[in-house]
Amino acid sequence: MKILTVIGARPQFVKAATVSRALAQQRISEVLVHTGQHFDHNMSAVFFEEMEIPHPHYNLDIHGGGHGLMTGRMLEKLEGVMMAEKPDWVLVYGDTNSTLAGALAAAKLHIPVAHVEAGLRSFEMKMPEEINRILTDRVSSVLFCPTTTAVQNLENEGFKNFDSEIVLSGDVMYDAVQYYRTRVPARSAIIARLGLGSFALATLHRAENTNDPQRLRAICEALNEIHRNTPVVLPLHPRTKAYLREHQIPLHATVIDPVGYFDMLALLENCALVLTDSGGLQKEAYFFQKFCITLRDQTEWTELVEAGANALAGADKNRILELYAHGRKTAVAATADLYGRGDAGTRIARHFGS
């Protein structure tokens, strides 16, 4: 059994750390291919170092350019790697251009595709991630779903009538938090280094916000106002930094470079609440029982909204500030088994070994 795994972006490194470890425990051969989509050290190499992810067998060094250019270059390179390696399966994660390119390259070579984090839907087709995840699901042979909501989404779309298998695996990011959080005190000094007391943790990188100066300005105005009373710690994506500079949008916050996994876990452990347009950080906030204000109009993690742990603010300054006042007083309780029991990686690996 040989599995070729395609990764390329920060959240995929976290997910791969869990599944790659489980595959090794099952003695399943894995060929790891890094597309290069995220190439900055703080968004790529540091994760391999910290999380002890196997060094990629291939690094395609593809980044920059529009969606079509990037995905096309990935397709070309991945096809060559797959033809040379002849894997039994191609494993992809999430909803990035790397995900779609890996799935399409494999499907056209008649190699079965396994999609981890299948079935997620924001129901917003303007999001490139939504297009990527829908198309990836459709060409996948095995769909590993993190939640019952994801399973229901696939069933609603008729996937029971397709030549594919739906598996409720649980969420591999929950596995990662459970596995790594006990190591945080020994691996991160970011709280002491920044001299943090009470603070809000924010991230901002989605194209729907950064490509729209009006949305970006409104969000920054809300963050600026919050920062007057409670420090806002913002690990800033390089692309967001460039947009802020280009549109001359002031941002008053404790702005830091993107951080590694252990520093992010330390920030989550110690923050008062989270403001983000990230998909993964919405879940991680919940894992640490922190209220999350989502700076988007929709979320694929609808169960968090239903549980009262997450609220959608979009780019509405007043709504963000209202939710911030609410979130400071809101205790988030973990709902049993909402994202599995911390054994999703093992379940996925065993599925290939069965």
Rounded mean pLDDT of 132-139? Answer: 98
2-171+340-353 shares its CATH topology with 188-327: yes
Assigned CATH for 188-327: 3.40.50.2000
Grouping H, G, I as helix, E, B as strand and the rest as coil, residue 80 is helix
Q: What is the structure's pLDDT at 176? A: 94
* Arch. (CATH architecture) of 2-171+340-353: 3-Layer(aba) Sandwich (3.40)
pLDDT tens column, 147-187: 999 999 999 999 999 999 999 999 999 999 999 999 999 99
- Integer-rounded Cα radius of gyration of the chain: 20
Q: Which candidate in 205, 227, 247, 351 is catalytic?
A: 205
Catalytic residue status for 63:
no
User: What stretches of 66-115 show up as alpha helix (H) in DSSP?
Assistant: 67-85, 97-108
Grouping H, G, I as helix, E, B as strand and the rest as coil, residue 147 is coil
Q: Please tell me the total number of residues recorded for the chain in this structure.
A: 354
Residue with token string 């599944």? 19
Query: How far apart, in whole angstroms, are the C-alpha atoms of residue 157 and residue 33?
Result: 31
Q: How confident is the model at residue 10 (pLDDT cuts 50, 70, 90)?
A: confident
pLDDT tens column, 189-233: 999 999 999 999 999 998 899 999 999 999 999 999 999 999 999
Per-residue pLDDT at 295 exceeds 80: yes
Q: How confident is the model at residue 41 (pLDDT cuts 50, 70, 90)?
A: very low
Rounded mean pLDDT of 31-39? Answer: 85
* Spatial CA neighbour of 10 closest among 137, 95, 127, 72: 95
Domain spans of the chain? 2-171+340-353, 188-327
Angle at 154 between CA 151 and CA 157, to 5 degrees: 150
What's the Cα-to-Cα distance from 131 to each of 44, 100, 138, 290, rounded to whole Å? 24, 9, 11, 29
Residue with token string 């729209």? 212
Q: How confident is the model at residue 40 (pLDDT cuts 50, 70, 90)?
A: low
Query: How far apart, in whole angstroms, are the C-alpha atoms of residue 292 and residue 323?
Result: 9
Q: Is the model more confident about 81 or about 330?
A: 81
User: What stretches of 157-237 show up as alpha helix (H) in DSSP?
Assistant: 172-180, 184-187, 190-194, 207-210, 213-229
Say what the pTM is.
0.92
Average pLDDT, the chain: 93
Phi, psi of 58, rounded to the nearest 5 degrees: -135, 140
Q: How confident is the model at residue 239 (pLDDT cuts 50, 70, 90)?
A: confident
Q: What is the structure's pLDDT at 48? A: 76
Rounded mean pLDDT of 127-154? Answer: 97
pLDDT tens column, 310-353: 999 999 999 999 999 999 999 898 776 899 999 999 999 999 98
Q: How confident is the model at residue 9 (pLDDT cuts 50, 70, 90)?
A: confident
pLDDT tens column, 85-121: 999 999 999 999 999 999 999 999 999 999 999 999 9
Query: How far apart, in whole angstroms, are the C-alpha atoms of residue 234 and residue 202?
Result: 5
* Spatial CA neighbour of 139 closest among 104, 101, 89: 104
343: burial class by Cβ within 10 Å (0-12, 13-18, 19+)?
middle
